[in-house]
Amino acid sequence: MLIQKTKIKKIISYFCVHYLYYNLFALLFALFQYNRIPFAIPLGLSIAFEILVCYYYSNKQMVKMVDHVLHIMAYNFVIILYYTNLQYFIFGNLFLLLSFVIRTKESCSSQITHEYSSIIRFLKTFYRFSALVASVCISLKLSKYVEWTWPQAFWWYWMFLSALVGTCFTLIIVLISKIINEIFKQYQTVPQEYKSLLWALYISVISSVLSVMWIINTFNKLGLDLPIKIGEVLFYSSVSFNLIIFCAITKLLWDSIIDFCFYLIQSQQTEIESSQRELPTSQLSQQKQYERRNTVHQIFLKKLSSAFFRQTTKQDLILQSQKMTELMTERGQTKKILQTAEMESKQLQENQNKVNESSQKCIICCDNPPNAVLMTCGHGGICYKCGLEMAQKSKECFLCRQQILFIYEISNFNDDLMKVVTITKFNY
């Protein structure tokens, strides 16, 4: 587990280093556009970045090391051509094309699967493709192989910007769907997931804003005189402010992001282990895909009867405890409350003893203790094994015939309150 979290921290730090690099490169390249620094500085930053990433993050994997070497060769090639006034920039794209091919092939053969793996894999491939197309278009324009205007040469940028905006809308839709599912109790979302999605949404939104500011300044610098003026000072300030805010937010949410990524990997491993179990041929057709995980935050079920439970929240428990504390501290009422509580406790104990006589065993198999509740209907009184078999065969509650979406495995918290230990989600 410690090794897995160490790997996750390295992956997240790898992304953060890339994001900081892109912001610094945009800042330095804007300075070059306004003749504040020489062209070698932003390209030198790119070379230093590739060397750093290759040394610390490649893990001696041949594909990644070759990819970084190709980028370093491409940057050096462009610097040499720029200072020697040779118009052969188009050939520098061969390095980037080869890099795109080997990284795309590696991405397609990846065995990593979780809820967000497809989105991440698609975005990485799309942004690599955008960078390749951008390089080709700009080099064709600089080498004067085409008679494009600068807006025509930047047609790829609108594709890139559309992807950024699309990423923002995708994250917003995912957040809304998570909130709706949480409201209707269809699925329990861990708090770390919300924080991680908000962190990703901030990155997407601010990247879109900075991209718009950069393209406006670039077109104005190229002499198009757009009606919108941003200015170099505002762009420098925005990028610098974003770097500070990004570092602060990342430090604040670092543990939550790590925990959520670790939870995704755990879910993936659970699915792999369950899929690798050997089953008899007669049972393969009856097997249903499901995911069982431990509860990350506390969930309680209030026992209304031996076979019916209702979900309650931690806030309800806190409010109930606060009300009881306030009542217990009122003058002249302490004795009365204690007497009433004692009577209620005796009555609950008597009821519990009567119930325990008939509810100590599962009402289906009459063998195992009743430690499972079917959701979202809330019917229980059965063991986890019987509940799992029921969900795999009939997919319906044995009492109300509602579809079984989850099975809550519970443990006794007190007389009428049960704590949820694990949640099993079914994917029919």
* Residue 37 confidence (pLDDT) above 90: yes
Mean pLDDT in residue range 296-303: 77
d(CA 386, CA 380): 11
Q: Quick check: 416 and 302 in contact, CB under 8 A?
A: yes
d(CA 122, CA 124): 6
Residues 6+ apart with CB under 8 A from 171: 197, 200, 201, 204
- pLDDT for res 337: 54
- Among 395, 397, 371, which Cα is nearest to 301's? 371
d(CA 111, CA 117): 10
Can you tell me whether residue 57 is helix, strand or coil? helix
Residues 6+ apart with CB under 8 A from 165: 208
Mean pLDDT in residue range 179-204: 80
- Among 262, 268, 258, which Cα is nearest to 195's? 258
Residue 117 is inside which H or E element, if any?
helix 117-142
Strand partners, 409: 372, 422
Residues 6+ apart with CB under 8 A from 334: 328
What whole-number percentage of the chain has pLDDT above 70? 77
Six token digits for residue 331? 């003058």
Mean pLDDT in residue range 172-176: 89
- pLDDT for res 401: 86
Phi-psi region of 311 (alpha: psi -120 to 50; beta: other; left: phi over 0): beta
Beta-carbon count within 10 A of 17 CB:
15
Backbone angles phi, psi at 425, to 5 degrees: -105, 135
Residues 6+ apart with CB under 8 A from 158: none
DSSP letter at 227?
A: S
Cα angle 203, 158, 108 (rounded to 5 degrees) comes to 65
Mean pLDDT in residue range 292-316: 76
d(CA 267, CA 187): 15
d(CA 426, CA 391): 8
Residue 372 is inside which H or E element, if any?
strand 372-375
* Residue 270 confidence (pLDDT) above 80: no
User: pLDDT tens for residues 44-71?
Assistant: 999 999 999 998 888 888 888 998 999 9
What whole-number percentage of the chain has pLDDT above 90? 24
Direct distance between the N- and C-terminal alpha carbons of the chain, in angstroms, rounded to an integer? 30
SS (H, E, C) 9-41: HHHHHHHHHHHHHHHHHHHHHHHHHCCCCCCHH
Domain boundaries, the chain: 291-330+356-426
Mean pLDDT in residue range 151-177: 87
Q: Quick check: 42 and 27 in contact, CB under 8 A?
A: no
Q: What is the mean pLDDT of the chain?
A: 80
Mean pLDDT in residue range 185-207: 82
d(CA 142, CA 154): 12
Residue 122 is inside which H or E element, if any?
helix 117-142
User: pLDDT tens for residues 209-266?
Assistant: 999 999 999 988 888 888 888 888 999 999 999 999 999 999 999 988 888 877 776 6
* Residue 331 confidence (pLDDT) above 60: no
User: pLDDT tens for residues 80-90?
Assistant: 988 988 778 88
pLDDT band at 154 (very low <50, low <70, confident <90, very high): confident
pLDDT band at 27 (very low <50, low <70, confident <90, very high): very high
Q: Residue 407 corresponds to which amino acid?
A: I
- pLDDT for res 358: 46
Report whether the peptide linkage leading into residue 376 is cis, meaning its omega lies within 30 degrees of zero: yes
- pLDDT for res 286: 43
- pLDDT for res 273: 53
* Protein fold of 291-330+356-426: Herpes Virus-1 (3.30.40)
- pLDDT for res 269: 58
- pLDDT for res 346: 61
- Residue 216 vs residues 135, 178, 338: alpha-carbon distances, Å: 19, 36, 73
d(CA 407, CA 303): 16
pLDDT band at 296 (very low <50, low <70, confident <90, very high): low
Residues 6+ apart with CB under 8 A from 89: 78, 81, 138, 139, 142, 143
